[in-house]
Each structure stands twice: as structure tokens, then as C-alpha cells.
Amino acid sequence: MIKTLAKQVGKYKTASILTPTFIMLEVLLDVMIPYVTASLIDKGISAGNMHNVYLYGCVMLVMAFISLAMGILAGKYAAYASSGFACNLRSAMYRNIQRFAFSDIDKYSTSGLVTRMTTDVNNVQNAFQMLMRVSVRAPLSMVSSIVMCFVVSCKLSIIFIIAAIVLLTVLIVVIRAVSNVFTKVFKQYDVVNSSVRENVSAIRVVKAFVREDYENQKFELAAKGLYKLYVKAEGLMAINHPFMNLVVYSCIIAISWFGAQFVVAGQLTTGQLTSLFTYVMSIFMSLMMLSMIFVQLTMSAASGKRIAEIIEETPDIENPANADTEIESGSIDFNNVSFAYKGGSGEYALHGIDLHIASGETIGIIGGTGSGKSSLINLLSRLYDATRGSVLIGGKDVRTLDLTTLRNSVAVVLQKNILFSGTILDNLRWGNASATLEECKQVCRIACADEFIEQMPQGYETVIEQGGTNVSGGQRQRLCIARALLKKPKVIVLDDSTSACDNSTDASIRASFARALPDVTKLIISQRIGSIKDCNRIIVLDNGRVSGVGSHKELLETNTIYKEICDLQNETNGDFDAPRKEDKQ
Amino acid sequence: MKNKSTLIRLIRLVLSNYRFTCLTVAVCIVITSVTTLASTLFTRTLIDDYIIPLTQVNNPEYASLAQTLFKLALILLVGVICSYTYNRLMVNVSQGTMLRLRTDMFKHMQQLPLSYFDGHPHGEIMSRYTNDVDTLRQMISQSLPQALNSIITLTVTLASMIALSIPLTAVSVVMAILMAVTTTKLGKRSRKHFKIQQQKIADVNGYIEEMMTGQKVVKVFCHEDEAIEQFEQINETLREGTYQANRIANIVMPVNGNLGQLSYVLIGVAGAALILNGHIDMTLGTLVAFLTLNKSFARPIANISQQINSVLNAAVGAERVFSVIDEKPESDDGDVELVNAAQASNGFLLPVIQRTGTWAWKVPATSSADGKPRFIKVDGGVEFKNVDFGYTPEKTVLHDITINAMPDQKIAFVGGTGAGKTTITNLINRFYDIGAGSITYDGIDISRIRKPDLRHSLGIVLQETQLFTGTVLDNIRYGRLDATDQDCIEAAKLVNADGFIRRLSNGYHTVIDADGGNLSQGERQLLAVARAAVGDPPVLILDEATSSIDTRTEIMVQRGMDSLMKGRTTFVIAHRLSTVRNADCIIVLDHGHIVEFGTHDNLMAQQGAYYRLYTGHEIA
């Protein structure tokens, strides 16, 4: 993990090295100032020499200013390096996510990816900055203080060493315990979060059933859990500071006792004894700082792991070497294909599918939820790979084809489709960045989207808001179809893509498809019999198996599932209003 | 100014809940600060009172030193104990206050009108419970005790410094003021940049959120390179923002530290000049002592300046928390209650404790003519009279709605998106309050009925099915908390849900999560219907699903709803032909107006709006 992250420092390496260098210089100057003070006192004041007083005073001033400059430079470079590092981390993650296959995307939730790219990066960035600034300062001043102690008095230094070991042991024990509790704290945060989220998104249900008190109790339980864990963690941490004081005070008393005897015996001077007291403070302050860094690092280690996970993820589907970039026709062959979602229950979503579709055919696909309709068409453009068997487009195995070529030739209008913020034209040009306005208008005519676009005050320049909330469901679907058509595909797949359009619009889209795209293979998934009954062939899926293939008429006679769906829709269950009405508003 | 009043309110809240604890903490802090100073000053005592005299005698006697050290040890031990006590107590104070704020906020949130939830993104509300409340932790547990500690140290040190030398104190104070001023100035500039940084983070957040949601579309369109390019630009502006913000924040510490050094040097030189010029009060010993004091004078100032950020953060966080707590709750002036009732032998209704399946409205004695509480049977008749409504006073979305639903009738609302169907049903259970006109329930104005009782008398199935994390049984029982397992199973059977529930891995005890990922949409809806059924309410509000759940599940849901509707007044937002055709009254809405009403046959004969909707054709 550390290796993966360290690689991302990249061009900010210089700044990352300069920062601790400046800090080192700053610390050295800080350490030297007391020595100059000693000279000022000894050679200046005691000697009654005002000239020396000014001389050493000036030296000290210059040193303080240099130290200030070093400090400012270190701060600046630390900010530069850490913000650059964070930027690189985000970038590396984002780039790798773009390489993800659908199965990889399924593995991480959207909100999870957002958290990793913001909160987690922020944690690591802070830890990195602290590492550069404090982790040099603390050990450096500790080591130099320890060295000075030994120079002054080896015997008394043993006291420090023993005390430092005791302190360190206690700190490690406390931090270990605390970081264990903190892992639980973060989990409990999720509980609190989901308790609030559930309540807020279901507030209508809560109010309708008058369950406010019940919800209060649920939340209080979650919040109390967090309280208890936090009190436990921080209660343990509360030991740290007083315990350090205890150790420091013990040292002071021990040094006073032994030191006084040494001074009296002439083994130590008064000045040396005084300096030992200063070193005690500085050693233990550094230890304390180190322990704090340690806590921070353990906390951000979790974030680092989550970031590294994304950067290191190898996509399930990658462009094949020596990929074929030529697709001649829109014929489709499923050769005994079975498919199971990775990380799912392991159950097959598709079993032994064997289908052969000629170029230019119009194929309808129908079946209940979970029957495998979307899984089937996802294999076409290699959004997922078949677990067994093979899928051929234009007679070539999709796994040998260049991904870009394949996906441009097989246009899928996804069931859960979305538009991006930007103008209508921007959105259309996702299909083909260099499409002219005329080309865009043409595909909109085929998708029956031209009419409503032209009625909008800004026409094709109308700005779509995030998620496409300012166009109706039916309009959004038609824009998505037009966008897909701009690719000039060999195969077009509509995955329930006209569900929000009214019947007549749905019919005219099908008619214009037949007219304008005679050579394109058309696959239409729908819940509505009306949308598919005129297709050349209809495939009925049930539980991942093909239950029947044939024309509307044939299936009515031979396929019970198809007949049942037809009967239900004809008799009682037509859609009444919203879709038909929606477009006329 | 706003920050200040928020902070005062926060501190008041802390003090009111932990009066005694805070007093103990304050005492402990005073003792701790004093003992810390005692240890600093002990060096001089050790040298002047013990070491120097001891070196001058031939046979050194250490007994009195041991005694003094023992005394010191005791004092310091007390300090350590006090230090632990206040640190530990502050954990309780800070976490307890946070717990209190969280639960207060949640309890208050439950009482807020729906319009509040409409106007705030859910992620933003959630963030108040975690991110905003968290800002208080550091402030309460660290900044407050540190501030007190610093003030005490500052006062004691200043007093000692003045006692030693007034001119040097002046130098020291000037430098301290300089430090405070630069810290504030830098802090201000840094805050400006931090605000910019937060904005940039929000931008990146928004971009990632949008692109990740559409990641599959990006892939289908091979749009990866463009997505990367765009992201790199936004990422770079964030990097610049972060750099600027941190650069200034990083300067504060070295500037303060080195100003402290500067002050040390200046005092050294000034002190030397005073000594060499023969100033009477100034000796070498005093100067050294003063230099030490000067260091402990600068430390609390640096401490306080470091805490400023956490205090400001806490002010912002607390303000957002208080703004929820200060939000005006849903009003409820009703005094009519819903009670279980039984028909007495003389035909009168009597209130009873146990559930009878018969309900009565209890009109309190104060508003009844004969000074006795009156009981009215709950039949489920609902009447709208000339009702106007708008989500905001400026824009009326429902105009002059008049509907009379007799008990057991089935009223269907039809009309396009935005016609006002859902809005009308939201008025019956008082999710929103009407602007003009009146709605009565069994002849009682619904504003006179206590809201909880009103809602208990209404069963509701929403289109967007919301379930809760828990077992299937828990979810059904949500409709009536005292329902037995058997009641829940009966309800599930009534609405046709029993079959699929038994097929789940653990039957009625299968745990489902809030998103209901392991259930199909139709199954989720069946559970919602069962949840409404278990409450056995006299009036039902149903919102049929429009979405494309598959035909067979849809039929199951439909049948479930049908059996639930029997014998109850039902308001249904209809999308199914069968529902509409079987309704006692169809109300056709358009842009908030009732344009037509009547039975299916009447309306078809009229060849008006309903006819057009039904046939899907415009009539020339």
C-alpha cells in the first residue's frame, strides 16, 4: 500500500524532500540559539562587555530570522507537496476507475468512490503533510537532546532512558487499545448515518404511521453506541497527557536528588544540571508528538488502504492485445453462453443461451424481472464477459475486438440511463464528438426527439441539469436513443428505453427505426407486448433460459409465458395515464 | 457576531448540563496549572536553597532535601491526578453534549413539517449529525480547558514578570501583542482560502458524484479520455486551492515560534544593557529567571492561537445544528382523539381499552355542548370543501377542490404528472396544511383532530416504497407496533404477500436492508401493502406504481391492494385501467383543478378529458 501511494508523489518529490530539509535547518538553528545565549551571558554580561552583548545579540537575531525563513519555506513546500500529492492520488484513482469494467464498478458503490476520492484523500494528505513536518522535527530534537544528555552526564542519562522506555510502552499500549476502539467508532458512524438516512428518506412513512417515538428510540440507541465507544477511546487517550507529566515529574525529582549529590561531589556543574531539566522537557515533548503522529498515521492508514485498493484494482476486462478494429456486419451469435455475476450469489443469470441473429433483424426480448434480459445484452458490447461459451458480433468473438470499435458498433441504450449537465448538443455529441448540427438533428428525428427540442426556447442549446431533471422521463429516453444513434452503430440495443414514452411515440420510434436503419440489427427489450409484437422474432426469457423464440403469432400459440403476459396486459392491466399524458404538457 | 452568540449558546448548553462537572474541571485545571508552575520554579529553589549551601559544607546532609523533594512529589502527584481527572471528565462532557445535541436534533427533526425535508438534500441533513456535531468535540474537550489553563498561566506568569522587572515585562508584552496580531491576521487570510478550498472540494465532489453515477454510460460511449481530461482540470483547481489554504496555515506556527525566539533575544539584550548600565533591580539571576518566564508567557498565546481554528469550526458546526433545533415544528392544535370503542347495548358508543376493530372520535368535554366528552363513530367519510393549497403562499397548486367521499367508497384520482393527485392525498393526513376551504373527517374538521390520531386512522401505501432495515416481520409490524406475529402473517395473507415471503431464505424472519436490494420492486410494494393492512385503518390512501415492474408481480400487488380496499374508504392515485373502472367516483385533475368527475361510464359518455386520457386520442 505504501509503495503504491508513494509512487503518486511524482513530480512533487523535490518539494517533499526540501520540506524536511528546511525543517532540519530550522530545528538546528533553534537548538543553537541557547548556546549563543550562554555566550551572551558568559562573555557579555559576566564579562561586563557591552560590545559582546550586541555582537551575540545580533548573531541571535540573524539566526532567528534565518530560522523564520526556513520555517516559512518549509511550510510553503509542505503545502505544495501535500496538495500535489493529494491531486495525484485523486487523478490516479480517477484514471483507474475509467478503466474499470462494469463488474468492477458494481463492486464499489458510487458514494463509496466519492468518499475515497474526497474524505480519504484528505486524511492521507494531512497525514503526509504532518509526516514531512513533524516526523523530522520530533525525532531530531529528541535525538539531539539525548545526545546532549549523555555528553553532560552518562549516569543521569540512564534515568531518562528508563523513563522513556516506560513512557513509550504505556503510549504504545494505549494507542493500540485506542486504535482498536476507533475502528469500532468508524463502524458505529455508519450505523448512525444509516439510521438518519433511513429516517430522512422514509420520513413520509414515519409520519404516516406516527412512528416518531419509535424512530427516536432507534436513533438514540445508535447515538448512545457512538457515545459509549467514543468515551472509551477518549477515556483511554486521557491517560496519555497526565501519564507523561507523571514521568517528567518523576525524572525531575530523580535528577534533583541524584543531581544535587553529583554537584556537591563536584561531578557536575550547576549549569549542567539546569540544562538537564531543559532536555527532559524536550525529550518527552518529542515523544508525545511522535505518539500523536502515530495515532494520526494509524487513523489515516485505513484511508490509505482504501485509496490503494482503487489504484491497484486491475480491471476485469481490458483491451485485447492486437485487437481487431474491423466489424463488417451486425450479425450476432450467442454460442451456448452461460453467465454469472462475479461476487454475486454464484447463481447463473444466464444458462446455455444459443441464439443466432442475422444482420438487420429486429428482435424483441421479453421476460419477468430477473429473467436475464439485461444480462444478455450486456454481453454484446463486453460490458461483462460470458462465463462460458462465446459471443460473436459480425462473426468475430467480442473478446478479440478492440473495445472502442466494439462499443461504437454496438450501441446500448441502458435501462438506467442518464444525461450529463451541459447542453442538449453536448449530450448528443457523446455519441460522436465531431458530429455536425445537421447530423445531430437527423438522429433526433429518428428518435422522435426533434419536435420537443425545437419547442424549447433555446432548442439544441438548452442546458440539461445534473441527472437530466429538467426534461421529462420520456424526453430523456429519446435523447439517450438519439445520442446512441450518432455512433452510426451496426447493432442498437434498446433496454426498456421507451418505457416512459407514450404508445404513439413508441410506435413512431419503431417505425422510423425500420425506415432509417434497415441494415442495423435492432434488439428491443420491453415489458410492453405492444412494443415488440411487430419484431421479426421475439425471444422469451425465463430464469436465465430461452423459453421460446418466434414471431408474436407463433409464440401466442406455443409459449405459455408469452401468452399469459399478453392476456394480462390486454385485459386488465393497461397503463392508464401518466405516460400518454406526459408529453403533451 | 453570529459566531459569538452561537458560542455563548453552546457554552451555556454545556454548563447547564454539566454544572458540577464543569466546576470540578475548573478546580482541577487551576491546581494543574499551579503545580506545573511549581515544577518550573523548583529549579531555582533547588540550586539556591540546597545545592549552593550544600557545596559549602564539608559534611553534606541530604535529609532536608529528601523531605522537600517528597513534598514536591506529593504536590506534583496531586497535579497529575487533577490533570487526569479533568481530561477524563471533559471526555464525558464533550461526548455527552454531542450525544445530547444529536438526540435533541433528531427528536426535533421528527416534528418538522415535510416541507423541511423537501427543501434539504438528504446528504446535507445527514452531515449535520456527523460532520457538524464532530466539530464540537475538539472545541469542548480541548479548546475550552486549554483556554482556561492558558488564562491562568498567563496571569500568574505576568504577575511574576512584573514583580521581577517592569521594563522587560513591557518588551515581553509588546512582543506578545505582536504575536497575537500576526496570528489573527494570518488566520483571517487563511480562513478566506479555506473557504475557497471547501468550495473547490464541493465542486470536485459534485463532478465525481455525477460522473460515477453515469460511469456505465461513460463506458458505453468510450468517453473515458474526455472524462479524465475534464477531471484533471477541476482536480488542478482544487490542488491550487488546497495549496493556498495550507501555505498560509503552515506559516502560523513558524512565525509564532520565531517571534518567541525574537522576543527571547530582545529581552536578553535589553536585560544585559540594563545590568551593564547598573540598573539596581537587575541581576544576572533575575534575567535568567525572567527569560524562563518569558518562554512560559509565549506558550499560552501560541496555544490559544492554535485553538482559534477549532473554535471557529465549532461555531460554524454548532450554528448548523442549532438551525435544525430552531426550525419551527409542525403545528398540532387538535384535541379530538381516536379511541377504541364498543357498541353498548343501548346503542351508544363507549370507549374501551382493548382493540375492538371499532373506533370512535372522542371530542373533549371542553368543546362539547353538554360538558361531557362526545363519541363519534369512525366511519371514514371524508369531505373536501373548496380547498385551495400551495406549497408556498405565492403559488397555489390546487384550486377549489370539492370532493365528498362516503364511507367505503373508492375514489380514484387520474391526471397527468403535476396535475395534483399526490398533493391532494398529502392534505388528508395533514402532511401539508390547506390554504383555504376545509377538509372534514366524519364531519370533524381535520385540523381539530390530533395529528397522530388522524394519521393512525389512515392507512397509506406510497409509490416509492420505503422499507427499514430489519426482518420482514419487523417491517410489517411497523404498521402497528403491538401487532402479534400472527397478526402480521394474517395481514400478509390478506394482501397476497404470504406466498413470496415464505419462499425467502428465512421466511418472515429474513432480514432486509433499507434499500431492499434483495427484494424485487413488486415484492417491496407487497410488503408496504401488508404494512398498511396490519393497522386495519378505516381509510386508505394508495399510490399505484407506474414503473415497469413485471406483469405477473404487478398482478399480485394489484390483487393485494384490491383485497385491502374492501370495506374501507379508499383514495387511490390510479394508473391501472381496472382500478379506475371499478372506482365509485373518478376525479380527473388537470393543473390543480378538478376538470371532471363521475363513474367510468358517465365520463366515457361525456367524451371529455377522461375519454381522451382513456383512449389516448385527442378529439378534434
In a domain, B204, yes or no: no
In a domain, B183, yes or no: no
Report the run of H or E that residue B444 belongs to, with start and end: strand B444-445
Whole-angstrom CA distances from B245 to A80, A191, B304 are 10, 33, 20
In a domain, B220, yes or no: no
Task: Using pLDDT thresholds of 50, 70 and 90, give the confidence band for residue B426.
Answer: confident
Choose among B349, B413, B438, B446: nearest CA to B542.
Answer: B413
Cell of B325: 433545533
From the candidate CATH numbers 3.40.50.720, 3.20.20.140, 1.20.1560.10, 1.10.540.10, the one assigned to the domain spanning A1-136+301-316: 1.20.1560.10
Kindly state whether residues B109 and B11 are assigned to the same domain. Answer: yes
Q: What pLDDT does B332 receive?
A: 83
Of B98, B268, B467, the CB nearest to A57: B268
In a domain, B157, yes or no: yes
CB-based contact B608:B448 (threshold 8 Å): no
Whole-angstrom CA distances from B408 to B283, B446, B537, B566, B583 are 102, 19, 12, 8, 11
ipTM over 0.95: no
* Range list of H helices, B429-542: 451-456, 472-477, 485-494, 498-503, 521-534
Q: What pLDDT does B550 receive?
A: 63
Of B110, B250, B284, the CB nearest to A41: B284
| Residue B393 burial (10 A CB sphere; 0-12, 13-18, 19+) | exposed
Q: What pLDDT does A78 receive?
A: 92
CA–CA separation, A485 and A415 (whole Å) = 16
DSSP-derived secondary structure for B366-421: GGSTTSS-EEEE----EEEEEEEE-SBTTB--EEEEEEEE-TT-EEEEE--TTSSH
Residues B465-484 have pLDDT tens digits of 778 888 999 999 988 888 89
- Can you tell me the mean pLDDT for A289-314? 81
Choose among B523, B265, B530, B491: nearest CA to A30.
Answer: B265
Helix then strand then coil, in percent of chain A rounded to 5, is 65, 10, 20
**Mean pLDDT for chain A overall:** 83
pLDDT score of B134 more than 90: no
CA–CA separation, B90 and B112 (whole Å) = 32
Within 8 A of A345 by CB-CB distance, chain B residues are none
Q: What pLDDT does A337 receive?
A: 93
Choose the weakest-confidence range: A397-401, A548-552, B36-40.
Answer: B36-40
CA–CA separation, A273 and A156 (whole Å) = 10
- Judge: A578–B417 Cβ closer than 8 Å, yes or no: yes
From the CA of B515, how many Å to the nearest CA of chain A?
Answer: 9
Phi-psi region of A323 (alpha: psi -120 to 50; beta: other; left: phi over 0): beta
- Judge: B117–A200 Cβ closer than 8 Å, yes or no: yes
Within 8 A of B257 by CB-CB distance, chain A residues are 30, 71
User: B361-373: b or e for each residue (b if 16 or more CB lie within 10 Å)?
Assistant: bbbeeeeeeeeeb
In a domain, B126, yes or no: yes
Within 8 A of B451 by CB-CB distance, chain A residues are 210
CA–CA separation, B287 and B503 (whole Å) = 88
CB-based contact B290:B296 (threshold 8 Å): no
Residue type at A84?
G
CA–CA separation, B506 and B512 (whole Å) = 11
CA–CA separation, B35 and B42 (whole Å) = 10
From the CA of A281, how many Å to the nearest CA of chain B?
Answer: 11
Contacts of residue A387, defined as CB under 8 A and 6 or more positions apart, other chains included, come to A338, A339, A340, A348
**Segments of A480-556 assigned E as strands:** 491-495, 521-525, 537-542, 545-550
Choose among B136, B129, B132: nearest CA to B90.
Answer: B136
Report the run of H or E that residue A116 belongs to, with start and end: none
CB-based contact B140:B90 (threshold 8 Å): yes
**Minimal-distance CA residue of chain B relative to A418:** B214
Kindly state whether residues B477 and B440 are assigned to the same domain. Answer: yes
| Residue B57 burial (10 A CB sphere; 0-12, 13-18, 19+) | exposed
| Residue B42 burial (10 A CB sphere; 0-12, 13-18, 19+) | buried
In a domain, B610, yes or no: yes
**Minimal-distance CA residue of chain B relative to A51:** B273
* Chain A, chain B: beta-carbon pairs less than 8 Å apart: 435
A92 vs A568 pLDDT, higher one: A92
Task: Tell me the pTM.
Answer: 0.75
CATH of domain A332-582: 3.40.50.300
Percent of chain B, pLDDT > 70? 92
Residue whose cell numbers read 430461452:
A546
Of B109, B226, B462, the CB nearest to A204: B462
CA–CA separation, A189 and A117 (whole Å) = 19
SS3 A429: coil
Contacts of residue A295, defined as CB under 8 A and 6 or more positions apart, other chains included, come to A175, A178, A179
Kindly state whether residues B429 and B306 are assigned to the same domain. Answer: no
- Can you tell me the mean pLDDT for A455-476? 78
CA–CA separation, B374 and B371 (whole Å) = 9
Choose among B384, B374, B438: nearest CA to B413.
Answer: B384
Say which CATH number the domain at B420 has: 3.40.50.300
User: What's the residue count for chain A?
Assistant: 585
Task: Tell which of B106, B178, B267 to mutate to test the A interface (max A CBs under 10 Å).
Answer: B106
CA–CA separation, A349 and A371 (whole Å) = 8
Contacts of residue B331, defined as CB under 8 A and 6 or more positions apart, other chains included, come to B433
Kindly state whether residues B404 and B445 are assigned to the same domain. Answer: yes
Helix B166-213 × helix A50-99 angle, to 10°: 10
Task: Using pLDDT thresholds of 50, 70 and 90, give the confidence band for residue A42.
Answer: confident
Within 8 A of B275 by CB-CB distance, chain A residues are 45
Kindly state whether residues B490 and B589 are assigned to the same domain. Answer: yes
Q: What pLDDT does B449 receive?
A: 92
CB-based contact B106:B326 (threshold 8 Å): no
In a domain, B177, yes or no: no
- Can you tell me the mean pLDDT for A477-499? 88
Domain boundaries, chain A: 1-136+301-316, 332-582
Output phi, psi for B586, to 5 deg: -105, 130
Kindly state whether residues B346 and B313 are assigned to the same domain. Answer: no
CA–CA separation, B167 and A326 (whole Å) = 90
CA–CA separation, A471 and B466 (whole Å) = 25
In a domain, B237, yes or no: no
**Segments of A341-474 assigned E as strands:** 348-357, 362-366, 388-393, 396-397, 410-413, 422-423, 463-464
Kindly state whether residues B290 and B350 are assigned to the same domain. Answer: no
Rounded to the nearest angstrom, the gap between the alpha carbon of residue B616 and the centroid of all alpha carbons in its chain is 46
Q: What pLDDT does B103 receive?
A: 93
pLDDT score of B321 more than 80: yes
Choose among A400, A416, A411: nearest CA to A513.
Answer: A411
Task: Using pLDDT thresholds of 50, 70 and 90, give the confidence band for residue B104.
Answer: very high
Kindly state whether residues B138 and B12 are assigned to the same domain. Answer: yes
- Can you tell me the mean pLDDT for A312-331? 85
Q: How many domains does chain B have?
A: 3
CB-based contact A361:A521 (threshold 8 Å): yes
Within 8 A of A479 by CB-CB distance, chain B residues are none
Kindly state whether residues B397 and B296 are assigned to the same domain. Answer: no
From the CA of A574, how many Å to the nearest CA of chain B?
Answer: 6
Kindly state whether residues B426 and B564 are assigned to the same domain. Answer: yes
CA–CA separation, B85 and B88 (whole Å) = 5
Q: What pLDDT does A571 receive?
A: 53
Residues B160-190 have pLDDT tens digits of 888 888 888 998 899 888 888 888 888 778 7
Kindly state whether residues B85 and B139 are assigned to the same domain. Answer: yes
Q: What pLDDT does A573 receive?
A: 45
CB-based contact A235:A185 (threshold 8 Å): no
Domain that holds residue B141: 2-165+282-325
Residue whose cell numbers read 481530561:
B87
**Mean pLDDT for chain B overall:** 83
pLDDT score of A575 more than 70: no
Task: Using pLDDT thresholds of 50, 70 and 90, give the confidence band for residue A576.
Answer: low
**Long-range CB contacts (within 8 A, 24+) of B240-244:** B240/A83, B241/B193, B241/B196, B241/B197, B241/B199, B241/B200, B242/A79, B242/A82, B242/A83, B242/A86, B242/A87, B242/A125, B242/B197, B242/B200, B243/A79, B243/A80, B243/A83, B243/A84, B244/A79, B244/B193, B244/B196, B244/B197
Within 8 A of A60 by CB-CB distance, chain B residues are 261, 265, 268
pLDDT score of B620 more than 60: no
Kindly state whether residues B434 and B357 are assigned to the same domain. Answer: no
B4 vs A196 pLDDT, higher one: A196
Q: What pLDDT does A150 receive?
A: 84
Choose among B608, B551, B619, B554: nearest CA to B414.
Answer: B608
